[in-house]
Structure 1
Amino acid sequence: MNLRLSCRPAAPVALLVGVWDPVLPEHLDLFRLLRDDATARGLHPIVATIDPNPGVFVHAPVVWQDYDDLASRLALQEGCGLGGSLLVEMGEADLQSDAAAFLGAVMAVLPLGELWLGRRQSFGSGPAGSLDAILAYADSRGVTVRRLAPSLARFTCRTVRQYLRAGRLRDAIELVRRPPARARPDSGSLPLPWAPGDYLAVPVDGPGGRPAGEPTCLTLSSRDGTPPSVPWPGRADWLAFLAGPADGPAESCEPSRAGARDGRSVHQPG
């Protein structure tokens, strides 16, 4: 496990930990609540992002459907005005970690004062990574735990992955309330673990941002058992994907271009 902190907090940190894929509207509300609540009490608000999703190690990477890549997740957090970010880079061996090891590693890089904890959150498998283990370790180190209200986010995220697997991008966007975006890869070819087929994409100025060019139709394909990928068009820094192969070829590849021409933000396709 490798931890990368984007800042050097002087005050005790209020920390919120998650995978954040996709970043849902309720996640953005939670980031802003953390920002306002922690700052008002003299704490430094930081969101920790686990990458990749531990599910990648349980299932084959080529079939784990991610909606938001790491660049998108961090950019959306930054847009909420947080005090910094903590990136937690996971390896397969870290699945055997526990709450004490995880929180110990976190406290080695930042002054943890308060941990915001989801109702069903765990740090590792088995009893040693359970909620009780988290609470016991936090208490032993003088860290306050703030329990969050119940959420349906994990069920929403699971449904979004099912839609991506089926190529039903418009249905996924309806749940997330903005299209998935990707940053331009150095290689010129973007791996996407989604259903192969035709996708409608448009250049944007960032995740959930404004269109910066004309929509285009891209074909996601796989060769010789390699993960599906799509060629990156032009020099745009970001692409937002608006429709997939199960949304119908006419909708996917012959869209109305009014939204791109008048400069509206891209929140919904069409």
Structure 2
Amino acid sequence: MFFVAVLYSLFSYLHVTALQPQFIATTRSKYGDVTHLTIRKAEKLSIKVQKCKCDLEFIRLCTIYKLTPSFVKISLWKKRLKTSNEYKSLQQYCLQQEYKNRFKDCLKHEKELKTLIDKLKLIMNSHDIDQLQKYLYEISKKTKEKTVTTHYKKLRILNKGPVGQDYLSLETKRVHNISSYVLTTAEERILCRGWEFCIENKVNNFIDFKTDIELNMKKIEQSCHRNAFSIICHNIFNASDIFMKSAKKKSIRNVSDEEFKALKSLKDNTNIIIYVAPTKEIA
């Protein structure tokens, strides 16, 4: 029996994912009912957190591509009102409010999950904690795969086709990498947006934004005539005021967190050069 127990313990180290349900089942006898219920609660919170993140990405894509999911469609007596700008603005407003609420829920669930994990770390040994975290990771991974598949189908129906560019099936790629640097999927995706793509993001610190504008304008002051420079300054300040008014309403970025990090990594990478190819494609 001792030999079998040793083999079972060794097998649990080698094949963690296969024995995770068994690990959850043994927590009741090992740590008691209270700890077992806490683990189950952490399991449910992990699923909720992952679903919230997937929902946020779904709403973000709907906002970017001007898609209207079914949960913000309002039944109207006069059908012609559905084509009005007021109706569409109301739908976009509801969608943004839903994004904010889901974001708050996600933060709330993450905080609760962290509290439970910290509580379990005081009760369980390090090996069991590692097993638990791997189990929660596997559950979150399965939930993400299932939810993303469902959302992708919904987006295809709403958009009447694939959302964005299907980079895997493109016959002529817009990005041609002739360097030794291997682009990640996110980096290639952000480059495929093209030179005219502009990131829309909420500006939190308007003082720094105005300071950057003034510093950049100082750089061209010496190469401009005084009258021309004053006209340029006036136009730039007017444009910046319009931008800041619209930026205050922006709560959803039109790129994912992964793409935003990829853009920063490309910007900081001094070993590559990005330029326009002769065929008007990005190289």
Q: Name the TM tier (shorter chain).
A: under 0.3
Normalising by structure 1, report the TM-score: 0.23
Structure having the larger proportion of residues in strand: 1
